Amino acid sequence: MIDWIQRWENGETGWHREVTNDKLVEFIDSLKLQAGGMVFVPLCGKSYDMIYLLKQGYKVIAVEMSALAIEAFFHENAIAYTVQKAEKFSVYNADNIRIFCGDYFDLDADHLSKVEAVYDRGSLIALPADLRVKYAQHSHTIIPSGCRVLLLTLHYPQSQIDGPPFSVSEAEVGSLFEGFECQQLQCFNDIKNEPKFQKAGVSFVEKATYCLHKK
Ligand SMILES: C[S@@+](CC[C@H](N)C(=O)[O-])C[C@H]1O[C@@H](n2cnc3c(N)ncnc32)[C@H](O)[C@@H]1O
């Protein structure tokens, strides 16, 4: 069991990037968003990619269990916010962005009824195998029909190093999201840019991008 709250408290946030993810920029058009459309960012951390989405004119709705992460996001990006309690969540609101502080598995379809697309970087792959099944099933339940999902994964020999991030193969994506139309947009070995994996003697790290479509 990974203690994410503790990780945030200890500053063990090696996944965080201060720049926009290049795959989001490259493949955002595959989400076929309307101008001003709403994008759901599950397990968002303090992802700078949310700023990119806002700058493109989209609305963002997100969920994160660590209040520290959410508050860091607003403070570091100088965004004024308010907080309200609502059932199982503390809801952080600002212009065009709402972040639910709480457990992803407590979100329901009503929370996401206006969502047109989902951006998943570092979310599915943050979870061990049993939770990935639960996560994919819950995604299918809560996101509206017609939604497209931009999903970024890693695939490497899991026996050579422990997660997170966990290895998720193309076959696993297909089986987890069998209720979605699934298209792999890109996949390449990027071991040269992964010093932690190189040091552990991992033979390859494939980075894959998918577009899933909930019919
Ligand atoms: C590996 S980080 C990725 C964060 C972000 N997607 C990014 O790319 O920077 C995973 C995040 O998921 C959050 N998290 C894990 N399980 C969660 C859950 N069940 N509900 C809400 N947040 C969760 C953790 O606190 C952590 O911030």
**Exposure on the CB side of residue 45, measured as CA atoms within 13 A:** 21
Residue ranges per domain, the chain?
A: 27-214
Residues in the chain where the model's pLDDT stays below 70: none
Q: Is 148 annotated as a binding residue?
A: no
- For 122, the token pair is 């570092």
Report pLDDT for 44: 98
Q: Buried b vs exposed e over 96-124: b needs ≥16 C-beta within 10 Å?
A: ebbbbbbebeebeeebbeebbbbbbbbbb
17 labeled binding residue: no
Cα(10) to centroid of ligand 1, in Å?
15
CB 166 near ligand 1, within 6 Å: no
Residue nearest ligand 1's atom 24 by CA = 4
Which ligand 1 atom is nearest residue 105's CA? Answer: 19
Can you tell me the distance from the alpha carbon of 151 to that of 173, in angstroms, rounded to the nearest whole number? 9
Three-state DSSP at 168 gives coil
Ligand 1: nearest atom to the Cα of 7: 25
Q: What is the spatial distance between Cα 168 and Cα 157, in angstroms, rounded to a whole number?
A: 10
Q: How many CA atoms lie within 13 A of 2 on its CB side?
A: 19
Q: Give the number of the atom of ligand 1 that is nearest the alpha carbon of residue 47.
A: 9
Residue type, 54: L
Per-residue pLDDT, 1: 84
Measuring from atom 27 of ligand 1, which residue has the nearest CA? Answer: 45
The CATH class that applies to domain 27-214 reads alpha beta
- Is residue 8 within 8 A of residue 101, CB to CB? The reply is no
Locate the ligand 1 atom nearest the alpha carbon of residue 165 and give its number: 1
| 121-160 confidence digits (pLDDT tens) | 999 999 999 999 999 999 999 999 999 999 999 999 999 9
**What is the radius of gyration, based on Cα positions, of the chain?**
17
Q: Is the distance from the beta carbon of residue 21 to the nearest atom of ligand 1 less than 6 Å?
A: no
Residue 100 Cα, ligand 1 centroid: separation in angstroms? 12
- CA–centroid distance, 43 to ligand 1, in Å, is 4
pLDDT for 99 equals 98
47 lines ligand 1 (CB under 6 A): yes
